Amino acid sequence: MSRTVFITGASSGFGAASARLFAQAGDRLVLAARRLEPLQALQEELQGQTEIHAVQLDVRDRVAVEQTVAGLPEPFRAIDILLNNAGLALGLEPAHQVSLDDWDTMIDTNIKGLTYCTRFILPGMVARNRGHVINIGSTAGAWPYAGGNVYGGTKAFVEQFTRNLRTDLQGTMVRATCIAPGMAETEFSNVRFKGDSARAARVYEGSTPLSAHDVASIIRWVADQPPHVNINTLEVMCIDQSWAPLAVHRT
Ligand code: NDP
Ligand code: 8X3
């Protein structure tokens, strides 16, 4: 049976790749992001496979999120899967030098935007006793690194929020999953470094990072599990990535 999937951040990276994989399954898609043009291009690409509703949405805008969910056209109203994927990192400066505006943007998007989408979509899932909230966390939520400050903090929120969601949903058939990928090559670093594509490319140089398709395949796999199976948290890294030792400052 085809599902209705609401994807935030569908204009690039994991979101767009997931749209392609859900479309292959014949799932109906709501594609949301701030940039309408790439959403429309994706809609054109996929509309032979399934029904698509593309909507310009800034997840930081609580009223817009509420109106978008309330105003979905009939075939898209009963959302089965919410893929809370919209998010970003900005900068790598240490906490005492960072731009406070960047911190605001990350908190507003990665935390508040994600909670708005969840809060407005979840009641329908509970009423239908069917649904799945898939949140995109990050290895940065568990493993600190220099300059990861608020970005890592927002992703730690996503992981714990997901666990707490599942606790609230105990007794229902609504699932909640946090997928925490490590380094993946998308527009992510270009956004983090504010369009400095040479610096962004250096992040992936000499390694084989995860691709958007790799992560989307995991998202599809998580969503395709039988309804009684809830993947709580799933961390994934490319084989070229692991952990650094603890730091020691020596004089
Ligand atoms: P991309 O930059 O390629 O995609 C990010 C998506 O988020 C875009 O579609 C962007 O669309 C959307 N977005 C950003 N801000 C908003 C907003 N305010 N409202 C609506 N949409 C927004 O990066 P990824 O695909 O890599 O990132 C997807 C998620 O995965 C993010 O949450 C990121 O933190 C996380 N992640 C990424 C990793 C990586 O290494 N790439 C690893 C671990 C997690 P638009 O600009 O059109 O609004
Ligand atoms: C993205 C992975 O390591 O750049 O969440 O924070 S990392």
Ligand 2 in reach of 186 Cβ (< 6 A): no
Residues above pLDDT 70, as percent of the chain:
100
pLDDT in tens, 212-221: 999 999 999 9
The predicted pLDDT at position 169 comes to 98
- Ligand 2 atom having least distance to the Cα of 151: 6
Domain ranges of the chain: 4-236
Tell me, in angstroms, the distance from the centre of ligand 1 to residue 251's CA: 40
Question: Which residues of the chain fall short of a pLDDT of 70?
Answer: none
Ligand 2 in reach of 138 Cβ (< 6 A): yes
Residue nearest to atom 19 of ligand 1 (CA): 58
Q: Would you identify the CATH topology of the domain 4-236?
A: Rossmann fold (3.40.50)
Tell me, in angstroms, the distance from the centre of ligand 1 to residue 248's CA: 33
Ligand 1 in reach of 18 Cβ (< 6 A): no
The predicted pLDDT at position 161 comes to 99
The predicted pLDDT at position 1 comes to 84
Tell me, in angstroms, the distance from the centre of ligand 1 to residue 146's CA: 21
Ligand 1 in reach of 152 Cβ (< 6 A): no
pLDDT in tens, 43-98: 999 999 999 999 999 999 999 999 999 999 999 999 999 999 999 999 999 999 99
Q: Tell me whether residue 151 is one of the annotated catalytic residues.
A: yes
Tell me, in angstroms, the distance from the centre of ligand 2 to residue 150's CA: 12
SS (H, E, C) the chain: CCCEEEEECCCCHHHHHHHHHHHHCCCEEEEEECCHHHHHHHHHHHCCCCCEEEEECCCCCHHHHHHHHHCCCHHHCCCCEEEECCCCCCCCCCCCCCCHHHHHHHHHHHHHHHHHHHHHHHHHHHHHCCEEEEEECCHHHCCCCCCCHHHHHHHHHHHHHHHHHHHHCCCCCEEEEEEEECCEECCHHHHHCCCCHHHHHHHHCCCCCEEHHHHHHHHHHHHHCCCCCCCCEEEECCCCCCCCCCCCCCC
- Ligand 1 atom having least distance to the Cα of 110: 32
Residue nearest to atom 4 of ligand 2 (CA): 183
Ligand 2 in reach of 110 Cβ (< 6 A): no
Nearest-ligand number for the alpha carbon of 213: 1
